[in-house]
Structure 1
Amino acid sequence: MAEAESHYVLPRPSFDKPVKLLIVVAPYYKDIADWLVEGAKAEIEAAGGSWEIAEVPGALEVPTAIGIANRMSNHDGYVALGCVIRGETTHYETVCNDSSRALQLLGLQGLCIGNGILTVENKEQAEVRADPARGNKGGGAAAAALHLIALGRKWGARTKGIGFKPPSDSYQIAGDSNGSPKA
């Protein structure tokens, strides 16, 4: 059982400027969602950050809400929370795969997202993973977002040797080997 396993956890990042995260939660299974949110809020507060919460109907709407928030708000990062429990149809695979894929695509665009959408076989597995005193996957998702924010701030502060460099006078755009423009 996952509850008995032990894993390495990175030290909590520290910030010289405050961080603000948006927790986007799908409270379809309200008791599970409440535990996930509790863990996420505690982790964010322990890092000195602040948070806001947005609720959406289900796990498929979580990435869309994060995308909207990224365009229209000023959050440093996002915590995606929810729970998908396997049922009798293939809907489970669709929801799990599509929500995860959408979050990953947003992350690859540079958003700092911690994915805490549980994908489990039954309610008991969800309870073990969501409970802040046991699995604390909400806290883990918040920690992931905080670590990505810290990396973004670290790398975003670099001003030399990266990024686009405009062409200089000696830069040859389109010409022959003598530097004469091509007709």
Structure 2
Amino acid sequence: MADTEYSLPRAEFDKPVKLLIALAPFYRDIADNLLAGARAEADATGATCEVIEVPGALELPAAIGIAHRLSNFDGYVALGCVIRGETTHYDTVCNDSSRGLTLLGLQGLCIGNGILTVENREQAEVRADPARMNKGAGAAAAALHLVALTRRWGAPRKGVGFLPDAEELRIAGTSKGAPKA
């Protein structure tokens, strides 16, 4: 069925893009395949990447949030794999890691979610394999498309609502008896 899926054309950039790839390597071979796909997609657009590893999928949103506050990445790629087990822990990890990434995205971060949530190892292997479903590349492509949209629509804004300009602030300050600057 993968051959019927549509993919957008590769994002193009006139200035360099810096991506953070946050990787949860619990299943190392699967994580390595996801990473290979993500790196290849980033390389194809001329983006540079930094890779960090975190203990598990639940830590991916926190790591990306920290990086956003303390660094200067244009976009983020979350990679990992959660395979259903015998307990409800699977549901918690899948739902909460996805929710965390979605909330960061709604705050304006350009994130590609490459956390595989599968029933068994075979499904994970097919999805992670760069020669097959290549979900690592798909996550990187998603982040890059969001970076392109952000650049198209201008610089990110701080907060929502009315912000007075500097002249209005100066006039407001002088009308209250404040000394002129």
Is this a same-fold pair by TM over 0.5? yes
Partner residue of 1:46? 44
- Which one has the largest radius of gyration? 1
- Cα deviation for residue 6 of structure 1 reads 2.1
> Would you say 1:113 and 2:111 are equivalent positions?
yes
- Post-superposition CA distance 1:101-122 (Å, at most 9, x none): 0000000000000000000000
> Would you say 1:134 and 2:148 are equivalent positions?
no
Partner residue of 1:60? 58
Number of equivalent positions: 165
Amino acid at match of 2:126: V
Amino acid at match of 2:71: S
Of 32, 35, 51, the match for 1:34: 32
SS in 2 for 1:60: helix
Amino acid at match of 1:40: A
- Post-superposition CA distance 1:149-173 (Å, at most 9, x none): 0000000169xxxx7463899xxxx
Tell me how far apart the structure 2 counterparts of residues 146 and 61 of structure 1 sit (CA, whole Å): 22
SS in 2 for 1:82: strand
Gapped runs of 5+ residues in structure 2?
169-181
- Cα deviation for residue 13 of structure 1 reads 1.1
Write the mapping of 1:49-88 to structure 2, written as runs, cut at 5 A. 49-88=47-86
- Post-superposition CA distance 1:4-49 (Å, at most 9, x none): 4421100011111100000000000000000000000000010110
Tell me how far apart the structure 1 counterparts of residues 7 and 116 of structure 2 sit (CA, whole Å): 19
Tell me how far apart the structure 2 counterparts of residues 20 and 28 of structure 1 sit (CA, whole Å): 25
Tell me how far apart the structure 2 counterparts of residues 46 and 5 of structure 1 sit (CA, whole Å): 21
TM-score (norm 2): 0.86
Of 91, 94, 97, the match for 2:92: 94
Amino acid at match of 2:121: K
Comparing 144-153 with 4-13, greater Cα deviation is found at 4-13
- Cα deviation for residue 138 of structure 1 reads 0.2
Amino acid at match of 2:123: Q
- C-alpha RMSD of matched pairs (Å): 2.1
> Would you say 1:149 and 2:147 are equivalent positions?
yes
- Post-superposition CA distance 1:93-145 (Å, at most 9, x none): 00000000000000000000000000000000000000000010000000000
Partner residue of 2:13? 15
Tell me how far apart the structure 2 counterparts of residues 84 and 51 of structure 1 sit (CA, whole Å): 24
SS in 1 for 2:60: helix
Question: Among the aligned pairs, what percent are the same residue?
Answer: 74
Higher helix proportion: 2
TM-score (norm 1): 0.85
